[in-house]
Structure 1
Amino acid sequence: MKPEIDTPSKRGRLAPRKNPYWVGVSGGRGGVSLGYRKPKSGVGAWVAKVVIDGTRLEETLAQADDDAASQGALTYRKAVVDALEWSKQKHAAIEGCEASSLRSGPTVTTAVNEYVKDRLARSERDGKISKGRLENYVLSNADFAKTPLSKLRAVHIQQWRERLVAAHENQTEKQKGLAPASVNRVLNDLRAALNAAAEKHRRQLPASLPAEIKVGTRAVRVAAEARKQLLGDDQIKAVVEAAFAVDSDGDFGRLVLLAAGTGARYSQLVRIRVGDLQIQNRRIMVPGASKGRAATARAPVAVPLSEAVIERLRPAIDDRAADEPLLMRWAYRNVGPFKWEKDCRRPWGPAYEVDKPWTATVAKAEVPAETIMYALRHSSIVRGLRAGLPIRLVASLHDTSSEMIEKHYSAFIVDMTEDLARRASFQI
């Protein structure tokens, strides 16, 4: 019986299943089909399918306009149009210069490229980070990158990642390898890319491929947890003053000031808007972290600020709209050989933009040379624990969980609880 998927109400009565409900839209059997994938919960998705010269091609088009669908979800009619257009593109690819690569099947390179394209579409900032990692450490290895997914085995992935670790252990000044923790970050992106390709091309690939990917991309063992850098209050004040000193416009100073005052991650700080600074309430609304795969954004966190911090932030909000980014910086343009001039104001971008001013700040503040900016977050969390704040409150203020606080800051929790218990003990 042909499934009915042309209205949200009809689709709502379908049973959830992994394989889509297919409806032919052109060419009869073996032609173009539109599918509707019904998840166990949430909004379904439209999927297009076509068979060309015996090669089955399938691709997810977009979210369906089910109940609770986000803006931009496709209606059934629009999905049919998009499926037909998609099939025309695939026919053109088969007939043109891309025919041989399409028939030869996906490789590590095609899996990475498709994944990067998807990541950039979801988040340009995060996509660029993933793109850089995968290009530098996966696609740069020609032998591994050209491996067909149909022949990919766990041993191929393990050999590739072992070379990354070995390069770190025997690194020279000219060629630096990756530390195990950094290898794991690359592995996370590679695993996601390979799994996405394995699902997309599952009818062309061995059924054992997901297991090979899982085994091959297991995390590299990290010998010890990275030391948490902690700064005292005097050191933090010196860092803030140095940050204002190295940037006469105050842009980097305000960024560091908010990092010290809130303990927020860089990715949260750069998304704060002018209207989030609530002077009358002496607080700032810090956007939730963009971590995980939650369908909805995390709620902002209200973090109290001192009067001194608010006063130093006032120049950033004068005569500005509430929806503008609070933290801005100057962009420069080249006007001649080795000559640059200020061009326009823009928001802070990827995290590497702070590298140079942070290095100058560390030197001027005379704190340990290896101090990283994330030390301000560690110090903020520990400051809250030492002040006797409940663990749950400290976790909430820093947009993390009590479990993470207990796991990574247990030594300071012991100190805090001992002090509290000592205050409550019997006195003579």
Structure 2
Amino acid sequence: MGRISIDKATVRAKLEPRREPYWGAPIAQNLFVGFRRIDSGGGTWIARLLGDDKNHRYQSLGTVSPVLDYEAARKAALEWRRQMHAGVKTNEVKTVADACRAYVEDRQIMKGAQSATDAEQRFKRTVYSDPIGALPLAKMTQRHVEKWRNALSEPREGHNGLAPASMNRTLTALKAALNFAVARRYVAADRTIEWSLVKPMKAGNRRDLFLDLAQRRALLGELTGDARRFIEAAALTGARGGELASIQRKHFDARTGTVTLDGKTGPRAVPLAPAAIDLFKQAARDKLPEAWLLTKGGKQWDRWAWNEAVHEAAQAAGLPSGVVLYTLRHSFITEAITAGMSLLDVARLVGTSLAMIDKHYGHLVQDAARKRLAALNMI
């Protein structure tokens, strides 16, 4: 059979169902749109391209509908050919979720387990089960990303909604996955504009929220078991959540009262207060050297688990909204400095630069110095 006017609905309606598509006239050099009749009720559009190697390549364009009529299928076929010529690998990674999974695999290889786990947990909660996850990469728009971003603040699947700062970190992770898809030619480079224009939410300063001793005790009083131990470790060390989750039994030395943490500034040996030594001794009991020291039901803690634990305990204790695990780090740094510890010592303990400590906490030293000056009798 020769070429058929599949652009006409009346012609398509008379065609017999068959697996082989009915092909119309070429819409461009070596490019055809075909119609596959499924049954008497409808069919699908197929694109066919003859490559330079003389082999045909096929691409499903979707089910015929008032939205996806012949003209829309023709435009989709032309876009597919453009992507093929640009080297886009449309059959390897098709959806946003596919791109995120590919990115996680790359993080595992290039950055290690901690980076991969953090990205995977974010995507599990916010992408894989969300409508945006099933969206084809080539069809995602700025509006899709903004709608997804805005919905991050809403509770989902038993989890509380994200705070603005967490929303921004999750948006950054998604953008990184989509940029990775562009770099690997899973989607055309001109799609980058769709997510690059999406702006982060305005987030408050995490260092503004301080918990005094009574509030910290109230928070811990609402916790039990593994959650109590993990969050108490954060309060006693000022360490980041990821650093605590990555401690193995071998990293804790009860003899010297130190623990080795590995964070943004690299590994560091941290001296522990007596309460922290006792806590870590309990956690280390009967564990092998390679085992995680602080666990949740025998498994490694992740960001979502500790965020939920802190959020629920803070609510139960009647603490201000916005309390997160970082609040305990900020409280530790504040208490250490106001107690007279030098900025350099604090920076070494919490694994950050002296410049960063001075920038955000230098005023505490000035306040303390001002009080001591006021007590001096110089004349």
**Superposition TM-score, scaled by structure 2 size:** 0.61
Give the Cα separation in 2 of the matches to 1:127 and 1:168.
Answer: 15
Q: Does 1:303 align with 2:232?
A: no
Residue of structure 1 in register with 2:184 after alignment: 200
Deviation at 1:234, TM superposition (A): 3.3
Report matched runs for 1:33-44 at 5 Å. Answer: none
Deviation at 1:141, TM superposition (A): 2.8
Structure 1, unpaired ranges of 5+: 1-50, 56-100, 292-296, 331-345
Residue of structure 1 in register with 2:131 after alignment: 140
Summarize the Cα distance change of 1:354–1:166 in structure 2 as closer, same or farther, 3 Å threshold. closer
Q: Does 1:119 align with 2:119?
A: no
- Alpha-carbon contact 1:133-1:186 (below 8 Å) kept: no
- Alpha-carbon contact 1:242-1:364 (below 8 Å) kept: yes
- Alpha-carbon contact 1:285-1:302 (below 8 Å) kept: yes
Residue of structure 2 in register with 1:385 after alignment: 337
Residue of structure 1 in register with 2:171 after alignment: 187
By relative contact order (CA 8 Å, sep 6+), the higher-ranking structure is 2
Report matched runs for 1:215-364 at 5 Å. Answer: 215-217=196-198, 219-222=199-202, 224-226=204-206, 228-243=208-223, 246-247=224-225, 251-281=226-256, 283-289=257-263, 291=264, 298-306=266-274, 308-330=275-297, 346-354=298-306, 358=310, 361-362=313-314
Residue of structure 2 in register with 1:90 after alignment: none
Deviation at 1:386, TM superposition (A): 0.7
Which residue identity does 2:122 align to in structure 1? S
- Alpha-carbon contact 2:132-2:148 (below 8 Å) kept: no
Report matched runs for 1:84-123 at 5 Å. Answer: 102=89, 109=96, 110-119=98-107, 122-123=112-113
When the two chains are superposed, the root-mean-square deviation of aligned CA atoms in Å is: 4.2
**Superposition TM-score, scaled by structure 1 size:** 0.55
Report matched runs for 1:14-33 at 5 Å. Answer: none
What secondary structure does 1:288 align onto?
Answer: strand
Which residue identity does 2:370 align to in structure 1? E
Structure 2, unpaired ranges of 5+: 1-50, 56-87
User: Structure 1, residues 359-383: CA drift from partner, whole Å, max 9, x if none?
Assistant: 6644675645763333221110101
- Alpha-carbon contact 1:261-1:305 (below 8 Å) kept: yes
> Larger C-alpha radius of gyration, 1 or 2?
2
Summarize the Cα distance change of 1:167–1:176 in structure 2 as closer, same or farther, 3 Å threshold. farther
Q: How many residues align?
A: 291
- Alpha-carbon contact 1:167-1:178 (below 8 Å) kept: no
User: Structure 1, residues 208-254: CA drift from partner, whole Å, max 9, x if none?
Assistant: 666x368425x4251643463312223334444553xx33xxx3333
Residue of structure 1 in register with 2:14 after alignment: none
Summarize the Cα distance change of 1:165–1:213 in structure 2 as closer, same or farther, 3 Å threshold. closer
What secondary structure does 2:267 align onto?
Answer: coil
Q: Sequence identity, in percent?
A: 24
Summarize the Cα distance change of 1:323–1:221 in structure 2 as closer, same or farther, 3 Å threshold. closer
